[in-house]
Structure 1
Amino acid sequence: MAGLWRCILAVVMLMCVYLWDSAEAVGGAKSRPRPQRRPPKKPKITPIDQTQPEQDIDIERMLGTWYLLNTASKCSYLVNHGTKVEPTVITIARTATSNETLSVSTKTRHNHQCWEILQVYHLTSVPGRLTLKGSAPEQNIEIVIGDTDYNSYAIMYYQKQGKITMKLYGKSVDNLSEPLLTKFEELAAKQNLQRAYHFPFPTYSHCGDVDRDHVITQTEEAMRSTLLRMLAALVCVLAACADVMPVKDFNLEKVAGKWYMVGFATNAQWFVNHKATMKMGTAFLTPTDVEDLDLSYSNLNTDGSCWRMTHLAKKTDTPGRFTFHSQTWNNDNDMRIVDVVYDEYALVHTIKTKNGVSEVLNKLYSRTPDTSAVLQEKFSQFSLETGVLAENIVMLPKNGECPDA
């Protein structure tokens, strides 16, 4: 009997210990440190956020006419045609309908014809910082008046999609002194815009009055079509130039397979010399196990032989962007797939660099040899935006195919 009571007592003690531990656990939950909340994400700082406007900027003193003297930019058009820029002048005025906006007129030449572009800059809560609104917030251009004495010069920063363009304006064409040019170059260098990306503008023969047929208002649909078709240079001259980015949510597996190379656009001399005889070819894109992209091209020659070329395009940290070195052409290639409908077409933008000189090559790939007029127009418009001359945008004629290698 005594043994039975000892067993019962042992069980009771174990239950007490268990209940005590449970109570401690429950009570201990109160004493545990609460999980700390994640700190809120810091707002993304863009280059222009680190560029302070001229202190206590007086926007009224910025009104009037300014001559564009120099531009620092990596805009594709300027890189390819920087020696062909035209005299450009802007006039800043108050708008009649609002105290929160400025009217900006830009006059320049294209094909010996004077054009005037009318835009509206919006004032912000920060004196000296303005916004040129695009079709969507991500297309806005942020502007900062970085340095000015109001009477002779103004240095302005323009940012679109995180890329900076700088411009040096003068109140007259004779204001470009050596110290001022040095100041501009030093400020540009801080934005990683070395002298190779500086483009001085002519200071003579500026446009006067412009007839109404050659005045474009930004809000008009003509601003979108006419400007991009006929005035590719003004994409850089008017404001900022954004880097060409790959398509969002790029899918490597879906881009695999056979494509027809139906469109070609570049100002490279080799293409200019041979574009009249070039015909459609094929490309096979094959993803590798490490998410690189094997590129295999073939083109049937007129004599029945086949021209073939292969590259291994290495992936980058940005999906849809690849790099490779061409042994055939001895150049470095930065390739971006900028628009794609995987079962229809792909628009590929490549920057080719050799001996420090870069050229743009745009290709239009199609799953079939036939392309719609809408797709051809899309390719042409994109190529104009990236600085390719209209005469160097070619839709290739159909061709036979090479047999499998």
Structure 2
Amino acid sequence: MTPAVFLLLCGLLLSSPGNAQRRRKKPPAPKNPIDSIGIQGNFDPNRFAGKWFLVGVASRCSYLSQNHYRLEATNVMVTVADAETPEKPLLFSIFRPLDGHCWNIRQTYFPTERAGRFQVRGRGRKVDVVVAETDYNSYAIVYYQKAGKISAKLYGRSIKVGDAVTAKFEERMASIGLDLNQVFYFPVYGFCDSVDEYHVLDETKYTGIR
């Protein structure tokens, strides 16, 4: 085989569709951290609905670390919107004091293809949500991811949960690299149950569709 023929064959091999496809192959997408969080099996939105108290939060947020003493008693009413449809979005109606007033923040947790996993869309970036663990009657551990950063909240059906549940929450947080200095608990007094029309922040109008 002459050198010219050899070079021609090499050129044909290098330009073959298979090689071109290999060259164009994109690197794998980076893993989404919240994908590693397990989801409550057979999640039932109707059993999850009802009143919850925000017991604790875990986060790497430096602002929260420096201002955790400003946390206010917070309670949440969860309802299932359009319960007759298979999607079953959850409506979160959050009540909390701020600057001497009671505020109501309303959010829609849009369901995804996996039961127990949701997405909240608002003014800023979307938030991915996973209901990781709940017995529906006393506690729920819910993870939130925004801009690739994970935090978590501990909800209770009453203002306090048992020591075993608190220990479980702290253990779950340690497994994702959050230590006790990044776990904060809410006051058990000073709750709001109603607000006036001037202190409502309605995020439910945001669907994420532009």
Q: TM-score, normalised by structure 2?
A: 0.84
Q: Report the CA distance shift for 1:98/1:82 in structure 2 as closer, same or farther (over 3 A).
A: farther
Paired residue secondary structure (1:166) = strand
Is the contact between residue 95 and residue 194 of structure 2 (CA under 8 Å) also seen in structure 1?
A: no
1:103-114 → structure 2 map (5 Å cutoff): 103-114=91-102
1:87-102 → structure 2 map (5 Å cutoff): 87-96=73-82, 99=85, 100=87, 101-102=89-90
Give the C-alpha shift of residue 220 in structure 1: 7.3
Q: Report the CA distance shift for 1:196/1:31 in structure 2 as closer, same or farther (over 3 A).
A: closer
CA deviation profile, 1:190-237 (whole Å, cap 9, x unmatched): 22211111111012232122222212212679xxxxxxxxxxxxxxxx
Q: Report the CA distance shift for 1:169/1:33 in structure 2 as closer, same or farther (over 3 A).
A: same
Q: Report the CA distance shift for 1:162/1:33 in structure 2 as closer, same or farther (over 3 A).
A: same
Paired residue secondary structure (2:39) = coil
Q: Residues of 1 paired with 2:84 and 2:67: CA distance?
A: 38
Correspondence 1:177 to 2:162? yes
Residue among 82, 104, 108 paired with 1:116: 104
Paired residue secondary structure (1:179) = helix
Counterpart of 2:114?
126
**Letter of the 1:195 counterpart:** L
Correspondence 1:155 to 2:155? no
- Deviating 4+ runs (over 6 angstroms): none
Taking only aligned residues, the RMSD between alpha carbons, in angstroms, comes to: 2.6
Q: Residues of 2 paired with 1:113 and 1:20: CA distance?
A: 88
Residue identity over aligned pairs, in percent, reads 34
Paired residue secondary structure (2:79) = strand
Q: Report the CA distance shift for 1:23/1:78 in structure 2 as closer, same or farther (over 3 A).
A: closer
Q: Residues of 2 paired with 1:24 and 1:208: CA distance?
A: 82
Residue among 54, 70, 74 paired with 2:40: 54
Give the C-alpha shift of residue 111 in structure 1: 2.5
Q: Report the CA distance shift for 1:108/1:31 in structure 2 as closer, same or farther (over 3 A).
A: closer
Paired residue secondary structure (1:182) = helix
Q: Residues of 1 paired with 2:6 and 2:49: CA distance?
A: 75
**Letter of the 2:76 counterpart:** I
Is the contact between residue 45 and residue 80 of structure 2 (CA under 8 Å) also seen in structure 1?
A: no
Paired residue secondary structure (2:92) = strand
Counterpart of 1:205?
190
Counterpart of 2:178?
193
Specify every segment of 5 or more residues in structure 2 that has no aligned partner in the other structure, as ranges: none
Q: Which has the larger radius of gyration?
A: 1
Q: Residues of 2 paired with 1:133 and 1:141: CA distance?
A: 7
Q: Report the CA distance shift for 1:159/1:32 in structure 2 as closer, same or farther (over 3 A).
A: closer
Larger RCO, structure (CA 8 Å, separation 6 or more): 2
Q: Residues of 1 paired with 2:148 and 2:197: CA distance?
A: 35
